[in-house]
Amino acid sequence: MEEIKEIAISILASAFALAFISVPVYIMWNWLIPNIFNLPYIDYVEAWGLMAFAVLLNSIFGLTVKSKKDK
């Protein structure tokens, strides 16, 4: 039972973090991208999906930035 509780908390924390990070993506996209690249504006749900896609790609391909301390 304790494991299920930990998994549920982890999933909720991840969803909350993704929702929190999507706000700056939404604002920055609508501020810069339509003017620079003539692409359409996006809404918050699309920004959330964009961030979820980025997290998925990062987890699949393992793209990480390593600092000089990690070497």
pLDDT at 25: 94
Instruction: Look at the pTM and tell me if it is higher than 0.75.
Output: no
- Other beta carbons less than 10 A from residue 34's beta carbon: 13
pLDDT at 67: 58
pLDDT at 38: 96
Alpha helices in 1-71 (DSSP H): 2-37, 44-61
Q: Are 36 and 28 in contact (CB under 8 A)?
A: no
Rounded Cα distance, 47 and 65, in Å: 23
Task: Render each residue's pLDDT in the chain as its tens digit; 71 residues.
Answer: 899 999 999 999 988 998 899 999 999 999 999 999 999 999 999 999 999 898 888 888 775 656 566 55
